[in-house]
Amino acid sequence: MNNQLINTVLAAGNIDQPHIFPHLDWLKESPYVFNMDFGLLELPLEPGILLIRGARQYGKSTWLEQQLYQTIKQFGGGTAFYLNGDYITDVDALTTAIEGLTTAFSKDAPVRRLFIDEITTVQNWELALKRLADQGKLTKILVITTGSKATDLRRGAERMPGRKGKLSRTTYLFTPVSYREFKNKCGDALGDHTLTAYLLSGGSPVACVELAKTGVIPEYVIELVRDWVHGEITRSARSQTAVANILNVLFRFGGTPVGQAKLARESGLANNTIAANYIEILRDLGCVIPVYPWDKDRHQLILRKPCKYHFMNLLVAICYHPNRIRSVAEFLALSANEQGLFYEWLVTQEIMRRKAIQGEEILAPLAFYQDKNHEIDFVETSQHLIEVKRGQTSPLEFTWFAKQFPHQKLTVINTKSFQTNHVTGVSLETFLLEPV
């Protein structure tokens, strides 16, 4: 959206004309429209600053246009304005643009909201908000910002202490479409393939729609995701070839712990510091999350030991997988071990989705348990662990668990349901359908 054009329309309140909200126009033509729940059910009426981050192609801009439209519809023209960071050159231009709009609100506006999409494309964007907040020019305004890179938003939060207002929560991670929502909207079209199609989509609305319509993720979706990742890598002055090598190592070693030195060696990088930098970028993009060994006695991560690197964005994994998986049939042609790895990553994505909705620390690392004889895939909390099996298992395989964890519970995701005092067996679909 052109900033000047859309703001002229918003000031007048003439929001029902075509081509003003391109994402909403696309929704009108889509056979499937998903409700997005990332923990912010409605915008607060109070002023403050909201920081919303998340991967591209997951619906942030669409959600923002919906909120913008609803604000004008409910409160009238001149109550909300819009900026797009993709079209703002630097922090000074951002400061000028925001300052100009702070005086444009209707005199009697019951709410004043400023929506800034993709603010993280502007380097040092937080300085603009800091300057204007210190000058008292944002006192009566709710500023809603979105961005695609968590590190910028995290640093922005650190550099604005006390400047985000009195809101109970100000930071959100934009989450994928839930499996429950996907099944409700697309289950009839996909039938028995609904779960696998959801895995392939990664919960990205555009991928969900294409899979439900055609059964295939089209190449334009793949290119959109890869262009986003490559753009962020280039913007960070890093090598696209190196990040491709890193991702290939993650595919090869899957659920095996990998030390930084081994990661660097296997990906052809000069040293472990460089490898760690690439992993940090992928983590900041919400693509990959480290999973560290867990000390069950101290109830903490063991950071000195090699960790696993799980994809928390399944669509990114699909886009970079060497087998070029685009359909359910192609996924089912993978080996059992490869499919099992994707199931583990899908559980990773779901755990991160739930943590985000509940307002836990953004992109905090996960944990797994391992001793000389046993391993559990996830320590979700100190009281609840999760094991993922592609096939069938039984409670007899986990009789050791109650002895080592007498006060904890274990959920085993597999194809058989069972229940003991300490261990519960559920299907992957049942797990994904659990309420948050």
Tens of pLDDT along 15-36? 998 889 999 999 999 999 999 9
Provide φ and ψ at 180, rounded to 5°: -60, -45
Type of residue at 148: S
Tell me how far apart the alpha carbons of residues 352 and 380 are, in angstroms, rounded to a whole number: 10
DSSP character string of 182-221: HHHHHHHHHGGGHHHHHHHHTT-HHHHHHHHHHSB--HHH
Query: Per-residue pLDDT for 159 more than 70?
Result: no
DSSP character string of 352-379: HHHHHHTTPPTT--EEEEE-SS-EESEE
Tens of pLDDT along 56-87? 999 999 999 999 999 999 999 999 999 999 99
**Which pLDDT score, from 0 to 100, does residue 84 have?**
96
CB atoms within 10 A of CB 327: 17
Confidence of residue 359 (pLDDT cuts 50, 70, 90): very high
| Residues 203/175, Cβ–Cβ less than 8 Å | yes
**Which pLDDT score, from 0 to 100, does residue 3 have?**
82
Tens of pLDDT along 107-144? 999 999 999 999 989 998 999 999 999 999 999 999 99
| Residues 411/426, Cβ–Cβ less than 8 Å | yes
CB atoms within 10 A of CB 134: 11
3-state secondary structure of 309: strand
Tell me how far apart the alpha carbons of residues 19 and 408 are, in angstroms, rounded to a whole number: 55
Query: Per-residue pLDDT for 280 more than 70?
Result: yes
Type of residue at 91: V
Query: Per-residue pLDDT for 251 more than 90?
Result: yes
Residue 84 zone, left/alpha/beta (φ > 0; ψ -120 to 50; rest): beta
| Residues 339/321, Cβ–Cβ less than 8 Å | no
Strands, E assignment, 258-365: 288-295, 300-301, 308-311
Q: What angle do CA 203, 275, 349 make, to 5 degrees?
A: 15
Confidence of residue 158 (pLDDT cuts 50, 70, 90): low
**Window from 23-27, 152-156, 172-176 with minimum mean pLDDT:** 152-156
| Residues 177/208, Cβ–Cβ less than 8 Å | yes
The packing angle between helices 194-201 and 336-357, to 10°, is 70
Tens of pLDDT along 310-353? 999 999 999 999 999 999 999 999 999 999 999 999 999 999 99
**Which pLDDT score, from 0 to 100, does residue 392 have?**
96
**Which pLDDT score, from 0 to 100, does residue 78 have?**
98
Tell me how far apart the alpha carbons of residues 346 and 26 are, in angstroms, rounded to a whole number: 28
Report the run of H or E that residue 124 belongs to, with start and end.
none
DSSP character string of 213-226: HHSB--HHHHHHHH
Q: What is the dihedral of CA 190, 191, 195, 197, to 10 degrees?
A: -20
**Which pLDDT score, from 0 to 100, does residue 19 have?**
87
- The 8-class DSSP code of residue 86 comes to G
* 217 contacts: CB under 8 Å, gap ≥ 6: 200, 201, 207, 210, 211, 318, 326, 327
In this structure, the strands spanning 300-301 and 288-295 are: antiparallel
Type of residue at 124: N
**Which pLDDT score, from 0 to 100, does residue 17 have?**
86
**Window from 45-54, 151-160, 165-174 with minimum mean pLDDT:** 151-160
Nearest to 150 by CA among 47, 40, 232: 232
Q: Which residue has the higher pLDDT, 362 or 283?
A: 283
Tens of pLDDT along 293-306? 999 999 999 999 99
User: Which numeric CATH code is attached to 3-173?
Assistant: 3.40.50.300
Query: Per-residue pLDDT for 153 more than 60?
Result: no
Q: Counting beta carbons within 10 angstroms of the beta carbon of residue 258, is it exposed (0 to 12), middle (13 to 18) or buried (19 or more)?
A: buried
Q: Please, what is the average pLDDT of the chain?
A: 95
CATH 3.40.50.300 domain position(s) in the chain: 3-173
Tens of pLDDT along 91-104? 999 999 999 999 99
Query: Per-residue pLDDT for 157 more than 70?
Result: no
- Burial state string for 286-303 with b = 16 or more CB within 10 A and e = fewer than 16: bbbbbbbbbebeeeebee
Type of residue at 351: I
| Residues 307/275, Cβ–Cβ less than 8 Å | no
CB atoms within 10 A of CB 180: 16
Q: Could you tell me the pTM of the whole model?
A: 0.95
Residue 22 token pair: 């391109």
**Which pLDDT score, from 0 to 100, does residue 18 have?**
85
| Residues 433/409, Cβ–Cβ less than 8 Å | no
**Which pLDDT score, from 0 to 100, does residue 380 have?**
97
| Residues 116/85, Cβ–Cβ less than 8 Å | yes
Confidence of residue 152 (pLDDT cuts 50, 70, 90): low
